[in-house]
Chains A and B, each alone.
Chain A
Amino acid sequence: MKYSPHPLLTSTVALILLGLGWQGCSAGKPKGQAPVVLEYWEKWTGFEREAMARLVDEFNSSQNRIFVRFLSVSRIDQKMMLATAGGVPPDVVGLWDVNLPSYAENNALLPLDRLAREAGLREKDYLPVFWKLCHYRGHQWALPSTPSVVALHWNKKMFREAGLDPERPPRTLAELESFNEKITRKNSDGSLAQIGHMPQEPGWWMPDFPSWFGGASWDGGPHLLLDSPSNRAFFQWLQSYPARFGGSELFKLRGGFGTFASPDNPFFQGKVAMILQGVWMDNFIRQYAPEGFSYGVAPFPESTPHPEAPLTIAQTDILVIPTGTRHPREAMEFISFVQQQKHMESLCMAQRKLSPLAKVSDDFYRRHPHPYLREFQRLSQSPRAQPTLCLPTMREYSNDLIIYSNLVLLGRMNGEQARREMAARQQKSLTAKLDRWERVSAVRTAVWDQELRP
């Protein structure tokens, strides 16, 4: 069954692309004899965009057959969906790993197994967790651009003020909470002045939190594991916060927090002492934290610690080729260029991230400005480095989890009730998506296999 896009959608998207193309043309024109022009959409802005723009320029000047036109696009996941549905997708897109399942199942991506193999990109060249994040339903859909793992970041000054050893982070969740109690300060009116830790700051990894309680949230198949002991423990843990600190006080404190990428970030401001954050945090600390700000990085504490193999959640920005692209081979050539160790390291260093490759040069460690890069690299190589939760229903799941966890943290809902309600809703949603997949899986698999034939 071949999908033919709606003519109205096609013409609308074509008009939008014409507009984007017009803007893109002003960025620079291909030199030489009619090279193949690739449209590359990327989500990054600011210094992260600049880092990739330099690599694109390097690629463009390294040969004269392909010219990559690089565009920074907001809400890239939605725009790519519409462009692909309209039959006029870009040639390369920089998405997030969590987008993979829904895009792959909906036939929005080209399977890259054969193209990657032909380009000499092999599993052994990558850290296993990042290679795994590029795969879904037995096929490869992406290659990593810049990856990250998460770790506990703590404010040493706040530790010192609370009488804690600033060089000694908590090692278990129980210890985290005991430190939390010591660091938390209240104003005379009972409101919170500062807190040791709050799960919703920044709260970006809520779907992955049950991992630190010893279990997963999805079996990879038809079942969510929200009934598991780890999920029960996670919701109980959330419930303990309003009981100890007051639900409305937690949210009032958070309401006063400034923007993440600003000097008002609560971590720099000394409002929250311990946060879960990714490798990129150092860059924001350099830009916005007050002078002399001192912080440490360590594995985020688990309920049961495994010092020899610490747990971390891995994520990666990815490069994909949408279905219906006109130049898949050329697109792969550009992606392969980015995957070369020299280029990957220059990109990751400029974005202050770690390398997804198994082999890392000494120069990368020496020149990289992140003071804790080796700690992050060690975490990414840990046998217990886990890919972030990537469900086909990820948006619904994250949305629900934010709502239910906030209700629990506010003290408006019992943790167990929230977990049960969320489990029922999300299991139904997952089953519906899997039913949709069952209807098309035979056709999809046949198309993908066709793509993979030499």
Chain B
Amino acid sequence: MTRKEKRSTLQGLLFIAPWMVGFLALNLYPFCASVWFSLCDYSVLSQPVYLGIRNFQNLIHDPVFWKALTNTLLFAAVSIPLSTIVSIGLAVLLNQPAGAQGFFRTLFFLPCLVPAISLAILWQWMLNGQMGLVNMALRPGLDFLNNLFGCTLRAPDWLNDPSWALWGLVLTGLWGTGQAMVIYLAGLQEIPAELYEAATLDGTSAWQRFLHVTLPMLSPVIFFNVLMGLIGALQTFAVPYILTGGGDGPGRSLLFLATYIYQNAFDFWNMGYASALALVLFLMIAILTLTAVHFGEKKVHYEGR
């Protein structure tokens, strides 16, 4: 290596040093420490005591872990497809040449600017079983059905009923679809107009154009959003934590893995067990992401390839 090359390498290292220091101190060290703590009984205030794999054995026999895992996966399985459909639908609508296009785009994006904590507090009231706006909107329809069929349908008590709480959260999640919608909108505008013209000349319907032109051309964006959505859904914490007032929701129906990790680490002082849970969550996200990348890429249409 010449003197110039050495100097250049040194300069390069110097430039990446702040990031490297941050990465080593704030990511790699905590990660390695967490792996070690997952094998220990550790209360934060005392020295960790090595337990081997006992935390992982306890985890397998812990029904609350399974409940949190089920809730997390169920939430991801429902909220990701739903928010994808809603945000693509909105993006397609807002991509139509119509008046006040900019106004509506801003309007649908605005809720994303609301911080998660404020959003949760707002939805606490929206989903209130007695005086919430959601139930106020539902009641006339339910009354109509009750009168028509003589049934006794009642608006759900979203946040107090174990059967409805998770669906209430899914509804809350739709509030933030504006973020994905903007990305889809950018993707839609990248689709060449000639493709639509050619398809129209071939006599295709609007639905066929959407199915055979829009979706394939949008597939890299869909793939990106679904991947990000998956990682985000598996780490859900702030909104259900606030919605339940820091608790688990009725019958633990709003307890997610991230919340259970937080509880064990900072409320119950079981940092070792929390680390084991965090490691499981990390592995789960890694496996699901890699699986999605492996299978998804085959279905994604990249224009440049």
Contacts and interface: CB of A to CB of B under 8 A. Distances in A.
> Does A pair with B?
yes
Contacts of B128: 255-256
A107 B247 CA distance: 27
A403 B45 contact: no
A82 B248 CA distance: 24
Contacts of B161: 248, 251, 410
Contacts of A233: none
Nearest to B266: A78
Nearest to B33: A6
Interface in A65-113: 78, 81-82, 84-85, 102, 106-108
B137 to A, nearest CB: 17
Q: Choose among A248, A253, A439 the residue with the greatest number of B CB atoms under 10 Å from its CB.
A: A248
A8 interface: yes
A3 B160 contact: no
A255 B157 contact: yes
Interface string A370-412: 0000000000000000000000010110010011001100101
Interface string B95-129: 00000000000000000000000000000000011
Given A85-B45, A396-B268, A439-B49, A251 B247 contact: no
A85 B33 CA distance: 15
A440 B268 contact: no
Contacts of A1: 47
Interface in A205-255: 248, 251-255
B130 A3 contact: no
B266 A107 contact: no
B43 interface: yes
A98 B131 CA distance: 36
Contacts, number: 90
A256 B135 CA distance: 13
B157 A440 contact: no
Kindly state the interface size class of chain B when it binds its partner.
Answer: 20 to 34
Contacts of B47: 1, 3
A31 interface: no
B248 A399 contact: yes
B296 interface: no
A164 B61 CA distance: 52
A256 B247 contact: no
Nearest to B255: A403
Nearest to B26: A8
Contacts of A82: 44
A410 B29 contact: no
Nearest to A407: B251
A436 interface: yes
A256 B248 contact: no
A403 B269 contact: no
Interface in B8-36: 25, 29-30, 33
A277 to B, nearest CB: 19
B194 interface: no
A395 B268 contact: yes
Given A406-B250, A407-B250, A436-B41, A255 B160 contact: yes
Given A251-B129, A407-B250, A410-B250, A3 B46 contact: yes
A251 B160 contact: yes
B130 A255 contact: yes
Contacts of B301: none
B247 A8 contact: no
Interface string A402-437: 110011001011000000000001000000000010
A399 B46 contact: no
A405 to B, nearest CB: 11
A255 B124 CA distance: 10
Contacts of A402: 247
B252 interface: yes
Contacts of A6: 33
B29 A8 contact: yes
A85 B248 CA distance: 27
B167 to A, nearest CB: 16
B224 to A, nearest CB: 33
B160 A403 contact: no
B267 interface: yes
Nearest to A406: B250
A256 B162 contact: no
Nearest to A109: B45
Contacts of B29: 8
A320 to B, nearest CB: 14
Contact of B263 (A81, A399, A407): A399
A254 B130 CA distance: 9
A132 B108 CA distance: 59
B26 to A, nearest CB: 8
B157 A107 contact: no
A414 B129 CA distance: 23
Given A85-B44, A255-B128, A403 B157 contact: no
Contacts of A107: 45-46
Contacts of A191: 130
B45 A393 contact: no
A255 B244 CA distance: 12
B33 A106 contact: no
Nearest to A413: B251
Given A256-B128, A402-B247, A410 B43 contact: no
A8 B64 CA distance: 31
Contacts of B160: 248, 251-252, 254-255, 406, 410
12 contacts: A8-B29, A106-B43, A248-B161, A255-B157, A396-B268, A403-B247, A403-B248, A406-B250, A410-B162, A425-B64, A436-B49, A439-B41
Interface of B: 25, 29-30, 33, 41, 43-47, 49, 64, 128-131, 157, 159-162, 247-248, 250-252, 263, 266-269
Interface of A: 1, 3, 6, 8, 78, 81-82, 84-85, 102, 106-108, 191, 248, 251-256, 393, 395-396, 399, 402-403, 406-407, 410, 412-413, 425, 436, 439-440
Given A82-B44, A106-B45, A403-B248, 10 more contacts: A81-B45, A248-B157, A252-B160, A393-B268, A399-B267, A403-B250, A406-B251, A410-B162, A413-B251, A440-B46
Closest 3 CB pairs of A and B: A251-B160, A106-B45, A256-B130
